Each structure stands twice: as structure tokens, then as C-alpha cells.
Homo-oligomer: A and B are copies of this chain.
């Protein structure tokens, strides 16, 4: 059950058997049916999650009741409302399963203890967060300098094969455009 998360972590830090034991002993496994919530707006967020299988989305609902997707998370991605988790404030995001999914959760206090017992995990998350930060910078730069069509093509590169798993209207939403516009972009692309 913990194979994939251990493989994932070993890409960044080496762990002894004891450290693996200290880590896995605090993990919990959660299975979600399609459309089931992992986190709802307003929740206290005591876990951050690693996706073992399936696919989830994190989104905010604005004042007009419109959803805005900030992240898709599939196999080997981390997801949570990190602001709410970190600062122990109410969640601003909703996170739910697009497909039936399995996630591994680690509780905030357990993680804090783990940091003290095995400081390498600080390193692990520092590295992951550096990469996540750079990825978001890239996404902002793309939105500043690329056409919607180019951003859609980049999305396909960044999330290969995900279009079979996610409806177009969610992709449009993630890209910040209307489903009608994405449909027109797709039409233009096939006719070339």
C-alpha cells in the first residue's frame, strides 16, 4: 500500500528501515468514490494527502457560485489546502475526487513530529515545494504571454493522457476560459 509513496520519497532522500517505519506508522489510507469530497470549504484541514491512484481537483467557489479549479492531482501528486493546513485556518478550497481514488494522508502533528525525528523530511518537502513554486510561476508566465490555444497545448504536454479522464469543461475551467471557447480552440486544432 505504501510502495508508491516510498518510491516517490526515495527519489529525493534516502531513508533507513527505521525511518521508513517511523514514517509509514503515521500514514492513513483513504478511499474516495467519484465526486466524494476530501476537503470542503470551511473545514479544518489536518492532513496533507498523497494520491496513490485516481484523480482529484482542488477548486474555489467564488461569490457567484462559480467554481475555479486551481489544481488537478493524479498519481504521485500531493494535494491539500496548504494554507489551511499550515496556518490551521478554515479551508478556502474544496477538493473532491474526479474518479474513484485512493490517497494517503499524514496528519499535521504527526508531520511536525516527523520533522523533528527525521529532519530529512524537511528537505524532502523543501525540494517538493521549490518545484511546485517554480511550476506555478511557469503557469503564471504562460497565462501572461501565451494565447489560450498555446496554454491548452501546454496543458496537454504537462498532463499527458489526462484528457481521457477529465471532462473538457473542467480543463476549460482550469485554463480560465469557457467550455465554448475551448470547444472552438479544439475545433481549430483538428482542422490543421
Contact = CB atoms under 8 A, between A and B. Distances in A.
Interface in A103-119: 115, 119
Interface string A50-86: 0000000000101000101011000000000011001
Number of copies: 2
Chain A residues touching B, range: 20 to 34
Nearest to A115: B123
Contact of A140 (B115, B129, B139): B139
Contacts of A133: 82, 129, 132-133, 136
A141 interface: yes
Interface of A: 60, 62, 66, 68, 70-71, 82-83, 86, 115, 119, 122-123, 125-126, 129-134, 136-137, 139-141, 143-145, 176
